[in-house]
Amino acid sequence: MKKSFLITTAIDYVNSFPHAGHALEKIQADVLARYHRFLGENVFFLTGTDENSLKNVQAAGKEGISTRELVNRNAKKFYDLKEVLDLSLDDFIRTTEVRHIEGAQKLWKACQKDIYKKTYQGLYCVGCEEFYKENELVNGLCPEHKTKPELIKEENYFFKLSKYRNQLKKIIEKDEVKIIPQTRKNEVISFINSGLKDICISRLAERGRGWGIPVPEDSTQVLWTWFDALSNYINALGYAEDSKKFQEWWQKNENKLHVIGKGILRFHGIYWIAILLSARLALPERIFVHGYLTADNQKMSKSLGNVVDPFPLVKKYGTDAVRYYLLREISPTDDGDFTYPKFEEKYNADLAGGIGNLVARVLTVAEKTKLGGIEKIEPEFEKEIKKTHYNCKSALDNFKFNESLKAIWDLIGFCDKYIEIKKPWETKEPKVIYNLLVSLAHIAKLLQSFLPETAEKIFDQLGVSPFDKKFLKFRIKKGKLLFPKLNNKFTQLNKI
């Protein structure tokens, strides 16, 4: 039987439109989904939108429209990323869907033994949808959003998080749920060691103007956004009805990966695990945590006006150019900066002058050369191609997207040097051309997870199939340049 691989991203707040930071996470997850399909595994790739947040209510109020209108409009923009970024999604869940509402309420009931009601006063950040202790604030502000939390006093439901402290610590320390990278694992252990307090998991329905999922058997309260949102991972699989799909992909599947940003690690690495323990459900296997995409070294923020819109970015440069920059130039686990000048510089150097130039040069000569019955490449090429496959896979197994792409571009550089030495445009030597064509086919094969459209174009121009185990016969059909060089001076696109 084929191995199964479940991969999820965080579901995004829809109080605003998506920005390039959202694109980074979705593209990273898509590469992993495509890679595991390439390995022959059954893959289920899930993403979606978090629509029951209080911040959505507030955003709709500012626009003078209903919350429903706002979430429907903005959720569509997030769904549209599927086509714009060429995401190989298997499902997209919205937390206003019936399947999610029923699942979230079922999960609440499954945790009932660990839920109690009490009056509480605390500092609440709407941006995070979380209460903060005073010593967690930075100069009195939310450490994440740099805004002053609101003092809230309510009678709400609480979850006995403190009950699971020792169990959580053991699970994280022993990698029963492996958190990647190690620095993020250390953060979670440090937070657990600082002492876990029970968490508030509901709010008054009145405060949210009735928006949200009602607490079972108490219509005066709605589920806390995070208790609600985290359950999307199992609700999309049919948790509400305990479906066969849920059993296969969650309960019996050990190969489950969450891809999230560092700002929501606590919710996934502690709260989600505790909720699953309470409900006696299977745990995820791994949590991969990426950094933030910054603009001019500042976290992208609508209030700062530095949020880059992925839609015009893709329209101007193309999907694969955007995918390449975010995967190659942005650290997989640390913050990475986006600037248009750097983007265009990398586009011209690596895409137009790298893979694009190599394909054009090789195919131009190949069209005029008869290859005859050559069926084997030279040993030096065989060795280089094997090394590239190994390095690419090894890096990707460790979530090092940038290093995996570097390995591919090293092979491109190897081919470029070979061309300069052999000068095939003069010699027209069939063996030389064949070495290069086979190398291009392997480059395309390796690019399938990263730049799927580009890989397909290369295969089409070579006249071979990506499913070929050996590339023996080529039917050259040279097409347009893969990445035309950018000659115009940099012009900044519209920002959100």
Tokens, residue 461: 């121009």
Active site annotation includes 3: no
Q: Which member of 299, 442, 445, 457 is catalytic? A: 299
Q: Which member of 133, 244, 302, 485 is catalytic? A: 302
Active site annotation includes 145: yes
Is the CA virtual torsion 212, 215, 219, 222 positive or negative? negative
Active site annotation includes 125: yes
Local structure of residue 487 (DSSP, 8 states): -
Active site annotation includes 200: no
- Decide if 379 contacts 433 (C-beta within 8 A): no
* Among 78, 79, 59, 80, residue whose Cα is nearest residue 70: 59
Active site annotation includes 302: yes
Active site annotation includes 111: no
Active site annotation includes 299: yes
What distance in Å separates the CA atoms of residue 276 and residue 74, rounded to the nearest whole number?
A: 30
Which residues have CB under 8 Å from 418's CB, separation 6+?
432, 435, 436
Q: How many CB atoms within 10 Å of residue 81?
A: 22
What distance in Å separates the CA atoms of residue 315 and residue 307, rounded to the nearest whole number?
A: 17
Phi/psi zone of residue 464: left (φ > 0), alpha (ψ -120 to 50 degrees), beta?
beta
Q: Which member of 19, 55, 100, 258 is catalytic? A: 19
Q: What is the residue-wise DSSP string for 283-322?
A: PPSEEEEE-PEEETTEE--TTTT-PBPHHHHHHHH-HHHH
Q: What is the C-alpha radius of gyration for the chain, rounded to an integer number of angstroms?
A: 25
- Decide if 338 contacts 308 (C-beta within 8 A): yes
Q: What are phi and psi of 275, to 5 degrees?
A: -65, -45
Tokens, residue 10: 């965080």
Which residues have CB under 8 Å from 76's CB, separation 6+?
none
What distance in Å separates the CA atoms of residue 194 and residue 176, rounded to the nearest whole number?
A: 21
Q: What are phi and psi of 57, to 5 degrees?
A: -60, -45
Q: Which member of 36, 111, 142, 290 is catalytic? A: 142
For the beta sheet containing 199-200, the strands, ordered from the edge strand earlier in sequence to the opposite edge, are 130-132, 115-125, 150-159, 199-200
Q: Which member of 26, 100, 106, 125 is catalytic? A: 125
By CB atoms closer than 10 A (0-12, 13-18, 19+), residue 442 is buried
Residue indicated by tokens 């709709």: 60
Q: Which member of 128, 200, 392, 415 is catalytic? A: 128
Q: Which member of 145, 178, 245, 389 is catalytic? A: 145
Catalytic residue numbers read 19, 22, 125, 128, 142, 145, 299, 302
